[in-house]
Amino acid sequence: MPLDFELSDEQKLVRTAVKTMLAKYLPRQKEILAQSRAEKRFPEELWQEYANVGLTGCLVPEKYGGNNMGLVALALGFEEVTYSGFSPGLLLVIAMDTACIVRNGTEEQKQRFLPKIADGSWKLCFAVTEPNAGTNTFNIETAAKRDGDSYILNGQKTFISGVDSADYMLVVARTTSLEELKEQGKPKSFGMSLFLVDTKSKGIEMHDIAIPLSEELNQFQLFFDDLQVPADNLVGEEDNGIMAMFNSLNPERILAAAICIGMAESALNKAVAYAGERRVFKDTPIGAYQSIAHPLAEVKIALEAARLMTYKAAWAFDNGHNPLEVGSYANMAKFMAADLAVKAIDHAIETHGGLGFTEEVGLISQWSGARLFKTAPVSREMILNYVAEQNLGLPKSY
């Protein structure tokens, strides 16, 4: 079979569709972003447009109201959103929650959740991180105990994005505690389960964490105190949620890469336009100096490479490749794209001289947004560990 790097006609149209959808907001962009930052809320009007154009329905099969265009299409949409200077908001976590429900949910859960996700009426967030379990997910302690037709959750989560605007959150909890595992001689990967929790439930306490990022998503520390969750909301098998969770992290990483690519391309274009115009000595545009031109050329090379890796990862996901294989591509794509975005924005700042620091040019706030993706949703170090172990077969140090 021939190797084909062409996007399909339909995939090509996705960026155009999203670009046209955003066009009417561009003239008011500064105002919209300033308002949503002041109100600490993602603009609902824009959210409905995201749903209307179909970004919430890409991973949802048609029979549940989605367009099923897949992760490549969604990645293209994400690129356009961040290229245009907007944030995808909760779309990133919703995509992973959607993938999780589609691939592991019961028929009843699919019918209950997917149509509402696709049409934008329900937002979802994702809660795995705990104070003692960030990078090391196996350390989570939040407990879920079966009680009749329900599970009772106790414990805490931290850094959870968008709980304030989400209708449901996908929570990772332990149905078998670490002590029980020790007694039973079972591995730490056992005993974790996934639950769809109504964010309005009794027994959830939220505390805002101050994180000065430019995106309109707030992070929270959560305390669960006898939080009752209907047993119907368990996604996948009890005690065997770990693979469902890790497989759903792949689309999140791929989309994080797409976000970074959009940001990098936007910064690069800004820098190139400025370098072609700005004259500091005589009549030579600064873009003629190799100290300005070469770093931008390097960014362009890295951009093309990261984009290929991201599409390959999304393609492998859409085609149902083995999750470990998808995971390798997804990790590599996120690693390349996050480094690229930070580098692209840094060089764009450098090219703009003093102007690079102004709010008007907007690069500094983009830099903090891009920098996040070196650390979250998975850190550079953990990706390097993954590649060393999974792809190179080197021994594990931790």
Partner 1 sequence: MHIIVCVKQVQDWDIPPSSFKIDEATKVVTPPAGVAPVPSQFDTIGVEAAMRLKDNDPDAKVTIMSMGPEGARDVIKHSLAMGADEGLLLTDPLFEDLDWYQVALVLSAAVKKAEDANLVICGRQAVDWDMGVSGSGIAELLDWPALTICKDVQVSDGTLSVERVLMDGYETVEAALPAVVTVSNELGEPRYPKLQQIMQAAKKQVTVWSAADLGLDASQLGADARKLTLERLYVPVSDVECLIMEGDTPEEKAQNLAKALAEAKLI
Ligand X SMILES: Cc1cc2nc3c(=O)[nH]c(=O)nc-3n(C[C@H](O)[C@H](O)[C@H](O)COP(=O)(O)OP(=O)(O)OC[C@H]3O[C@@H](n4cnc5c(N)ncnc54)[C@H](O)[C@@H]3O)c2cc1C
Residues in touch with partner 1 (CB under 8 A): 9-10, 12-14, 16-17, 20-21, 23-24, 52-55, 57-58, 67-69, 73, 77, 273, 276
Q: Which does residue 68 touch among ligand X, partner 1, none (CB within 5 to 8 A, set by kind)?
A: partner 1
Q: Does 159 bind ligand X (CB under 6 A)?
A: yes
d(CA 162, CA 169): 9
As beta bridge partners, residue 157 has 222
Please identify, using beta-carbon distances, which residue of 26 and 288 lies nearer to ligand X.
Answer: 288
Q: What angle do CA 210, 138, 316 make, to 5 degrees?
A: 90
Q: Does 211 bind ligand X (CB under 6 A)?
A: yes
Q: What Cα–Cα distance (Å) separates residue 11 from each residue in 16, 49, 54?
A: 9, 19, 13
Q: Does 84 bind ligand X (CB under 6 A)?
A: no
Please identify, using beta-carbon distances, which residue of 5 and 398 lies nearer to ligand X.
Answer: 398
Here the tokens at position 372 are 């996040």
Q: Does 281 bind ligand X (CB under 6 A)?
A: yes
Q: Does 357 bind ligand X (CB under 6 A)?
A: yes
Q: What Cα–Cα distance (Å) separates residue 37 from each residue in 2, 217, 372?
A: 48, 9, 17
Q: Does 93 bind ligand X (CB under 6 A)?
A: yes
As beta bridge partners, residue 170 has 126, 196
CB of 15 to partner 1, least distance (A): 9
d(CA 344, CA 354): 17
State the number of binding residues for ligand X (CB under 6 A). Answer: 35
Q: Does 187 bind ligand X (CB under 6 A)?
A: no
CB of 20 to partner 1, least distance (A): 4
- Nearest Cα neighbor of 318 from 57, 42, 142, 73 is 73
Here the tokens at position 339 are 């480094």
Please identify, using beta-carbon distances, which residue of 193 and 219 lies nearer to ligand X.
Answer: 219
User: Residue 309 in contact with residue 336, Cβ under 8 Å?
Assistant: yes
As beta bridge partners, residue 152 has 145, 228
Here the tokens at position 10 are 């339909």
Among the listed ranges 113-121, 127-135, 245-253, 315-323, the one in contact with ligand X (CB under 6 A) is: 127-135
Please identify, using beta-carbon distances, which residue of 9 and 149 lies nearer to partner 1.
Answer: 9
Please identify, using beta-carbon distances, which residue of 22 and 286 lies nearer to ligand X.
Answer: 286
d(CA 237, CA 16): 40
Q: Does 289 bind ligand X (CB under 6 A)?
A: yes
Question: Cα(first)–Cα(last) distance of the chain, in Å?
Answer: 41
Q: Which does residue 376 touch among ligand X, partner 1, none (CB within 5 to 8 A, set by kind)?
A: ligand X
Q: Which distant-in-sequence residues (6+ apart) come within 8 Å of 335 by Cβ?
A: 380, 383, 384
CB of 101 to partner 1, least distance (A): 19
Residues that bind ligand X (CB under 6 A): 93, 125-129, 134-135, 159-161, 211, 213, 219, 278, 280-281, 286, 289, 291-292, 350-351, 353-355, 357, 372, 376-377, 379, 381-382, 385, 398
